[in-house]
Structure 1
Amino acid sequence: MDDQQATLLGPADVRRLAAELDIKPTKKLGQNFVHDPNTVRRIVSVAEVGAEDVVLEVGPGLGSLTLAIMPVAGEVVAVEIDPVLAARLPRTAQEFAPGLADRLTVLPADALRVRAEDFAKPPTALVANLPYNVAVPVVLHLLAELPTLCKGLVMVQSEVAERMAAEPGSRTYGVPSAKAAWFADVRRAGPVPRKVFWPVPNVDSGLVSFHRVDPPSNAAREDVFRVVDAAFAQRRKVLRGALAGWAGSAARAEELLRAAGVDPTTRGEQLGIADFARIAEAASSGSTS
């Protein structure tokens, strides 16, 4: 832990800053501000970031989590789509963590559109309270775009946390779980009570951690993800039928499934990402059974 500390935002600070900026949290941007210092301390602790890390934070808002990350990380890059919030954050860092403010860089941008070249130093960890309506696309985009991102901890809607960390065969397993597994080992990391937010959301929240892993295949990621999308587009269908459009016909789908060692009468939710990769490989090699 760094000797220099940051004063964390409490409920009164959050309301004062929001009033100063004339901010009325919007559902469109998924704005629910954390006002509990213990919660942000817990997030940073579970995230296991250190002085060697360049931490990427998405949607820093008023800076509650940012101020908790700054004493621990080597650098923090905060990506904020709201220009008013992006402009205020450096000043908040100066006020609440004057000795650490030089560790913070604010990038006024949409996290779904950032590219690796936007960062002076490659981010190594993602720590964020993500806007719930874009949580999955943001995580998948950042993992694809930033190969240096080796670990992370994100706070998302509880149902989204379940879907991201679900295992094959479970009720909540689907496209987010399968695609996330291409990049990382994804796990639930505990619940977050509603009362730590302002305004109080009408959904429960949860933490999700990830650690990057090697892809399960040399197949092109885009090809594998097309198979995943097709398999889950019609969840009730067995794979022979669900992949018919993708393969060109049900007969061709069955041929490719058999070549990949997958039972054509199984459903998408039974397959892991390595299974989907083998199906894509069979298609790219022009396999016949």
Structure 2
Amino acid sequence: MSLDFSLIQQIDAHLPQTQCGLCGHRDGCLPYAQAISQGEDANKCIPGGQPVADALATLLNRPKIGALNSAWPIQANGRPQRMKAVIREDECIGCTKCISACPVDAIIGSGKQMHTIFSDLCTGCELCIAPCPVDCIDLIPDSMLLNPDQQQREQDDLRGRYYAHIQREEQQRFARRGPIVKAEINTQLFAEFSSHIQSVPQIKLQQIPEEKPTADPQTTIQMARLRTQIKKLEKQLSVREDAKKRMQLEQLTHQMTNIETMS
């Protein structure tokens, strides 16, 4: 199914970019925007509350429906209470699990060292709380009410930070060549979207080259024996030249080359 990137961008522009996954799309606001463009209900953004649900209904020319309930009280602007995560630093054991969980890189620290959260960058997504093995992260209310311009600037900044986070994860995935512990992010969607929309940071996918199949044990043993014989002959010939041994070395080298080509 072809995607309407222009419509997805318009929908994504209304979403708060908390990347919390409360809408059911674990890997951020953009996948939810895509799902909305394809017919999913537009009232599932809990941090955005009724204002975002109504704005999306107007944009899409759909009936206005009630936003999903939030656990936090509603503010004067109609959105749920903004929350910020804080670490009780004297209880932190430096496990780094909260760092990898943060979608906007608002947490700093290193292994076995105290961590801290930049409250100005925290989206209140709550994703850092569950991985913490010592339960030393709290949520506190943020009483600041943003006007529409401030809200838009914050969303644009958070979007950029999330794209940078995804790009770094993609690079680490390429370098690591191992399983990713965190939930998979649909990097293909983000990369395709960023290639069509110039106003968002571009994400480039890493191409992992195909590895040659591992040789069977018998071939591995044979190659090891050949290498040993070749090194032994090379050492002997470095001391004194011998035509018979030189011919034997050439034959073994040719045999090794053939095996490497076939494996």
Larger radius of gyration: 2
Higher strand share: 1
Q: TM-score, normalised by structure 2?
A: 0.26
